[in-house]
Structure 1
Amino acid sequence: MKTKLILCFVAICPFFSCDDNYEVVQVATPQLISKTEFRNSVTVQEPHIIQEAGKIYAYKDLIFVGDIDGIHVIDNSIPETPVLVKFIKIPVNEDISVKDDYLYADSATDLLVFDISDINNEVSLVERLEDVFTIYDYNFPEEADEADYSKYNYEEDIIVGWTVATERRKKQDDLMFTDFANNAVESTTGTGGSLARFQIVNDYLYTVGSYEMSIFNISNLSQPVLTNTNYAGWNIETMFQKDNYLYLGSTNGMYIYSLGNPSAPEYISEFTHWESCDPVVVDGDYAYLTLRGGNACGQLESVLEVIDVSDKANPTLASRYTLENPYGLGIKGNMLFVCDGTAGLKLFNKENPLDLSMVKDYNNIQSKDVIPLENSLLMIGGNTLYQYKYLEDDINLISTFQLN
């Protein structure tokens, strides 16, 4: 019996680390295409099925829904019966913003500008600013321990996906991610949800990646100019603008920037919390953050935090409420709408921000993000787009639209 156990151990050793200097790791290798091929792949197509619904954005009578490889355009002129009208194929796209019929979208390292003034007949790409964004870990697989960038050339390649394999490797202290940055008339503006990374304020477009903020002057809408790129903070996920300030939600806190000088936002302060996924919205003297624990988001606890930001230099925790699986949130008047993931949509009366009272709990639906518009509430969740009419302390369903 003892001999058999020894033989079994020897047989296992080639597959697992039997030497303290080695370990078994999940290694992610980037899937690459050339920048030339990548840039030639932007097209405007007829509407087709949505594969994986992402962020939502509203502009006039249009709703934009992010997908794996671009943006679906929905005609919402009749909210009871929305209609898909276009698909703008934009590879490696994270977010969009729209001002006066010009749509701004990131595409990996590039910023694209589309003229959408005639959305039903022609959508045209009018400008591309190349290599203005740094890509750190686009859609990096959660199950991976390390990345193998040995075949990646920052100057020539774009990462469009990943493959993950189990490997036995010698232990090393290198960081998993590599920074490649050193290698290289009244206006109408749309509205994004709390998961947005783009914000337009007057003549400037502000975009945020994991660690960098890029500022573009869009006074000439069809020809934006990159005016600044700054370090923004650690692992930034979302950006919200209110009253001449930017509020950045990161996995370890909230950063506040002043837009006193719009071309160069000034860091004011940060509010630190445990590691979690963190969108933020602001109204008056209070910021509202949802912190989602579990998976890649960090801690197990999930909460809604109310932060007193009356003193921008010294934000402080005012109150905290336990949630189950929170994502995005939004504000309309005295109502705070909180998307609690698989636990549904929760409506809080925030007349007293220090003592929120939940007035409605729609726990039979799935919710990811909301956009409180002037006359209706948009919500996305479970591959469904919901539209609601506001009532006093409640909402009434206008329509549901299946996204796939």
Structure 2
Amino acid sequence: MTDFLRADFLPPQPPPPMRAPGWRAKLFGDARATAITLALLVLAALVLPPAIRYLFIDAIWSAPDGAACRAPGAGACWAYIAAKSPFFFYGAYPPALYWRVNLTFALAAALIVWLLHPKIPRKGLALAGFFLGLPVVGFILLHGAPALGLSVVGTNLWGGALVSLIMALAGMAVALPGGVALALGRRSELPALRWLSIATIEFVRGAPLIAVLFMANVLLPLFLPPDWAPDRLLRPMAGIALFASAYMAEVVRGGLAAVPRGQGEAAAALGLSRWQSLKLIVLPQALGAVVPGIVNNFVALFKDTTLVAIVGLFDFLHAIDVARLDPVWAGPTIALTGYVFAALFYLTFCLAMSRYAGGLEKRLAAAKR
């Protein structure tokens, strides 16, 4: 039997080269791939030429009114979008004060870039600015402060993308910390806290967002004194934040369940307290494991802001729906152009969030190697 045993080991060999299959192998590697590729090519040939002709070639780019857009064979009426864009983005906000809206969202964009860019240091200062400073400064700029020389602009004049972005930013800012708090409360060893968290999550998740918005809009003022009744903008904002937090709690709970129990035990063995263990060991791993679910909730939340029109707020989609009733710009292609523009608006923001999440997943995966 020893004649069949190797006495000398073979020298180590280099690993085989990792070559990704070329585009031909991906598109036409087998019969199924070929059939899918050909079907998609046929679909693109049927859809893309009419869409390009409607959106670009036959489009009306400049016109004083909708007469040119109503002509036979006219394509998308981008002149309508240009004429109505202030209404779409600012609603009835006074045109002379647009700079206050622009400055508010410029500050928000700068803080978001600071928070999300991995190479910009001092994230703690950015967090404080986004969660504490921005709401105060943004409210002063948007609503006004006579003591600072800023005239008051009532929320009844706010509309369009201004309302949609405020709702989305407020909901996202509350959803993640609120979801983490509810998820930790659901796993708590204190029965009262655990059952309160469970009841909140299950009740909110069991009701449609429209019902939550109606409850926030109608019932919330009943629990407060008349002088403390929240503004018409704050009530649906609170409903959206609560709704998003409940859904985020289940995503975070899934991430917490994916972290091995030994991680917390090892942290305790090193002398870390329970909160230090959560902050430094458990939560970073849990949140990193559920990045797709978190971003999916953010995308859904951003699109769900269109439902605030049900309770009387003037969001971006509602502004486009109202603008098409203008007789100067009435016409079937004009209304369709407005809805195409709305789709591009929401697609841009949702695609940006998805792309950032994909890059974040790659960085987290590379850090684990």
Q: Same fold (TM over 0.5)?
A: no
Give the greater-gyration-radius structure (CA): 2
Higher relative contact order (CA 8 A, sep 6+): 2
More helix by share: 2
More strand by share: 1
